[in-house]
Copies of this chain bind each other. A is one copy, B any other.
Amino acid sequence: MSELPSYLASVAKTIDHMIDRYFVDKTGELNKASAHLLAAGGKRLRPAVVMLAADTVKPGSSDDILHAALALEVTHTFTLVHDDIMDDDSLRRGAPTVHTKWDMPTGILAGDVLYARAFEHLCMAQAKDDAKVRAVTMLAKACDEICAGQHMDMSFEHRTDVTEGEYLEMVKKKTGVLYAAAAGIGAILAGGNGVQVKALYNFGLSTGIAFQIQDDIIDLLTPPEKSGKDQASDLREGKQTLLMIRAREKGLDLKKYQRDLSPADIQAAIRELTDAGVIDEVKKTATDLVAESNRHLSVLAPSKERQLLMDIGEFFVTRSF
């Protein structure tokens, strides 16, 4: 049986402790707003990828770069805080979003505080200075691309003709690049050579895209009592996910599901997509990406940590919430 669950639990515990120390325990309203979503839970998957990438390159090195692992979680959280304002979402991880609990200006500022702290913590990692400069550059470029991805995602809302290529480009930027940076930064800070850094970066990129595709599948298939959020919200909002794009290509008309979806409607939509082979095909796209990510890792020497990275990829596309 995989050691992944216990490994992830131990990373989450470490990161949660750091979040308490560096964010939750600070006083002042803006600090509270900045800590709010960070402290609301989460699987801490990006920190785990940072640490496993480092240990894959140099066993035991992850202890020195916990601040970099934290930096990736903080970066991810900053993007969520700002995305929630842009999408005007009121709930996230079962808690009110920052701009809902406080207000829009405080939401913008809380995200901006987290953005700064990500770079502060990245520089606090114990690593060579040249590696830290490369890591800062990689994180900054990732943030740049995430913004481009979010902008693409928003522009898709007004369109019904998004292509599969456009969707994958958007997901690569919005989700893939930060997993890529997580793995790449772990490798860089551990002193990895060019081949190692590239292999781990590409691993993160492919698994990150697969992660988002699985998220879309979960949105459709997982009942609210299991996922803790609305089922089939993408379908209701007419969102252009890979499922919807493939359905359109096959001539399926899903527009009829866009308004008040009853549980029976959701089941009908699932049946229609299943019968047309859409769900299986999209699942295959995700598992193909994970297989590709494993090929990237194959240039690295086998180790327990390399296996855990592969297990994370497997987990990304088999999880049901």
Pair B129/A141 contact, Cβ less than 8 Å: no
A201 in the interface (beta carbon within 8 A): no
Pair A30/B129 contact, Cβ less than 8 Å: no
Compute how far the CA of A151 lies from the CA of B108 in the bound complex, rounded to whole angstroms. Answer: 10
Q: Contacts A86-B105, A130-B129 hold; do A148 and B115 have CB atoms under 8 A apart?
A: no
Compute how far the CA of A113 lies from the CA of B128 in the bound complex, rounded to whole angstroms. Answer: 27
Pair B143/A109 contact, Cβ less than 8 Å: no
Compute how far the CA of A140 lies from the CA of B117 in the bound complex, rounded to whole angstroms. Answer: 7
Closest beta carbon of chain B to A87's beta carbon, Å: 8
A18 in the interface (beta carbon within 8 A): no
A29 in the interface (beta carbon within 8 A): yes
Pair B140/A123 contact, Cβ less than 8 Å: yes
A147 in the interface (beta carbon within 8 A): yes
A282 in the interface (beta carbon within 8 A): no
Pair B154/A113 contact, Cβ less than 8 Å: no
Given contacts A29-B151, A86-B104, A117-B140, 19 further A-B contacts (CB under 8 A): A30-B151, A82-B112, A85-B104, A85-B105, A86-B109, A111-B112, A112-B143, A115-B115, A115-B143, A116-B143, A116-B144, A119-B136, A119-B139, A119-B140, A120-B140, A120-B144, A123-B137, A133-B133, A133-B136
Compute how far the CA of A113 lies from the CA of B141 in the bound complex, rounded to whole angstroms. Answer: 9
Q: Which of A108, A129, A137 has the most CB of B within 10 A?
A: A108
Closest beta carbon of chain B to A230's beta carbon, Å: 22
User: Please, which residues of chain B bring their CB within 8 A of the CB of A119?
Assistant: 119, 136-137, 139-140
User: Please, which residues of chain B bring their CB within 8 A of the CB of A129?
Assistant: 128-130, 132-133
Compute how far the CA of A106 lies from the CA of B133 in the bound complex, rounded to whole angstroms. Answer: 29
Compute how far the CA of A85 lies from the CA of B154 in the bound complex, rounded to whole angstroms. Answer: 18
Pair A86/B115 contact, Cβ less than 8 Å: no
Pair B144/A117 contact, Cβ less than 8 Å: yes
Closest beta carbon of chain B to A79's beta carbon, Å: 8
A150 in the interface (beta carbon within 8 A): yes
Compute how far the CA of A119 lies from the CA of B123 in the bound complex, rounded to whole angstroms. Answer: 12
Compute how far the CA of A37 lies from the CA of B96 in the bound complex, rounded to whole angstroms. Answer: 33
User: Please, which residues of chain B bring their CB within 8 A of the CB of A151?
Assistant: 29-30, 106, 109
Pair A147/B117 contact, Cβ less than 8 Å: no
Q: Contacts A112-B115, A140-B120 hold; do A30 and B147 have CB atoms under 8 A apart?
A: yes
User: Please, which residues of chain B bring their CB within 8 A of the CB of A108?
Assistant: 82, 85-86, 108
Pair A147/B86 contact, Cβ less than 8 Å: no
With both beta carbons as reference points, the residue of chain B lying nearest to A128 in the complex is identified as B129
